[in-house]
Structure 1
């Protein structure tokens, strides 16, 4: 495999800003989107960072994206709100929604905000992780644009990889941060494996006969074309898709899509014209632990629980036991120091995006 280049986060940020600005996006939404995308790459979620520029470019060229989008609140109470993303990229509307949920939680104990009329919003964990910075718990779910997950006993996919993320504050430990797809793996991670020339683990993607596909490029074609086969739900195996994992994905869609009035993937893909917005929905909740406990008590108890997990004897002494949030924090420290990995294939595709935008490519 060709050499992976390590690119400084500042360079990745500058590349994203230059492309989005050339597309005509508002400077404020450009900065928010670039920050979320780069932080996602720093956290090690390569499937949802700068590598998404090609996908966004495709939506732009089809006319799906409103590049002048201005998210706005269209319904609100003391503890809830509904935000319309104005058919723009999901990052600005999602930051706005989580900020609003946090404000409401600080005032009333809980804040719940849904978003409709959105596009891809990156990694759900980024928004959940905003809450612990204010001493709050954060919960995020989302519907998705594509279909790719095969239900139990089915031969064709009908649901997206609808993510769930949860974060909680500790005191002496890092915040707990869970970010997961409700499929065995996020669809875009299959694409990243292809960009990196890596083989897929068996059981991530199945063909129409239920057989595992390990060639990443072939698996990505199955996910994109969607005639039959696809991703297994979380908890599934190469032999059987998990009905509980599939139900978890539906729960994420109910909160992220049905609650906001956003579209349902299997229906939308049958009716959507190439130029129609994706109308994805997201769900954001912030919860103040002091509504239930004395100040600091929640964080203290969570610290004790995390300490127990970290102190568990590891199967391999060279690999300490991890708690959700550790990999992302470790990745961020390392990548800030060393750079964000960019494969030659990804760099070539980013050069195409930059060329079409009429801006210099900053990738090696």
Structure 2
């Protein structure tokens, strides 16, 4: 195992966006879809979710080379009511269709109190939290779930993976404080964080992964091998051990799939993988819900009460005076401020991958750093 931490470039957010956009244009992605995708990927990196931003370019290149992606066709609304809609992602990357779907859900909530929009026939959409934040910025509560392509979660008492990381995000608006934003995988950690630890040469915390015999995997390179090549072992459900905690995490993952997969008619990965042809789209599903607090309370009352609750949490005496109590969303907002000042860290291994992608597609390499 590489015990050293790889050197990381510090790249301004605008230049990271320029790099992503250059590659997407070289892949002949429709300009409006590319602009939305690059914006959301950079926003993800600014929040410190390194597993779901520019580091996803290697996976997206693979999907494109496999012929799974349609990078030209915009999403299409297939059915609609006053409070609901069903959107076809048209086999494109999930960022644009997800931003469209979340905004459509918010529009419906502002008109009718609640809006629920499902998406089918999509691909990876990045970090769920960026879409929940769309709702909070527009003054409503947002809930986001998604099915996943990868089969990485080993269920409680199991030895082989059957579920994905199946993310869940929830955001609520405030007046005085930062919005409350919970963004989480239903595994103990996201699969992408194994990749990030491998790119940075860092060991994995015990409990994130197990091998086929239930033993902890702490070598990140071995973790990537488990995820990509081995039929047994994988990520633990949220809660890890003891058994009851992990069983609840496993049940939460299935709940997320029911909303983000079954309800919207998208495939369940273990079933799809039996029949999927090499060029078939991933057919991922997403679920977006928006609730207008004004449908339940007088204007501003919800935000005032939530601010009061957050104030109580922030005022809790910390166990370590140097580490004040945080509320969901605080770490990401603080990291965003740091990265806007100092740049987005790009590990040397990731920098080499991006340079190679640029060479293969003919895009200009603009991140900087040594060859």
* Count of matched residue positions in the alignment of Structure 1 and Structure 2: 364
- Aligned pairs (5 A) from 1:1-364: 1-237=5-241, 242-363=246-367, 364=369
Tell me how far apart the structure 2 counterparts of residues 68 and 238 of structure 1 sit (CA, whole Å).
47
CA drift at 1:223: 1.2
Tell me how far apart the structure 2 counterparts of residues 257 and 309 of structure 1 sit (CA, whole Å).
35
Secondary structure at the aligned position of 1:227 is classed as coil
CA drift at 1:241: 7.2
Determine if contact 1:204/1:238 at 8 Å carries over to the other structure: no
Tell me how far apart the structure 2 counterparts of residues 206 and 259 of structure 1 sit (CA, whole Å).
31
Secondary structure at the aligned position of 1:277 is classed as coil
Tell me how far apart the structure 2 counterparts of residues 133 and 162 of structure 1 sit (CA, whole Å).
24
CA drift at 1:361: 1.3
CA drift at 1:334: 0.7
Change (3 A) 1:109 1:239: closer
Q: Which runs of 4+ in 1 moved over 6 A?
A: 238-241
Secondary structure at the aligned position of 2:33 is classed as helix
Secondary structure at the aligned position of 2:365 is classed as coil
Gaps of 5+ in 2: none
Secondary structure at the aligned position of 2:153 is classed as coil
CA drift at 1:240: 8.0
Point out the more displaced range, 251-260 or 2-11.
2-11
Tell me how far apart the structure 1 counterparts of residues 126 and 269 of structure 2 sit (CA, whole Å).
17
Determine if contact 1:137/1:286 at 8 Å carries over to the other structure: yes
Q: What is the alpha-carbon root mean square deviation over aligned residues?
A: 1.1
CA offsets 1:217-251 (integer angstroms, 9 cap, x no match): 11111112250010000011388871110000001
Gaps of 5+ in 1: none
Secondary structure at the aligned position of 1:303 is classed as helix
TM-score (norm 1): 0.98
Secondary structure at the aligned position of 2:118 is classed as strand
Tell me how far apart the structure 1 counterparts of residues 259 and 322 of structure 2 sit (CA, whole Å).
40
Determine if contact 1:156/1:226 at 8 Å carries over to the other structure: no
TM-score (norm 2): 0.97
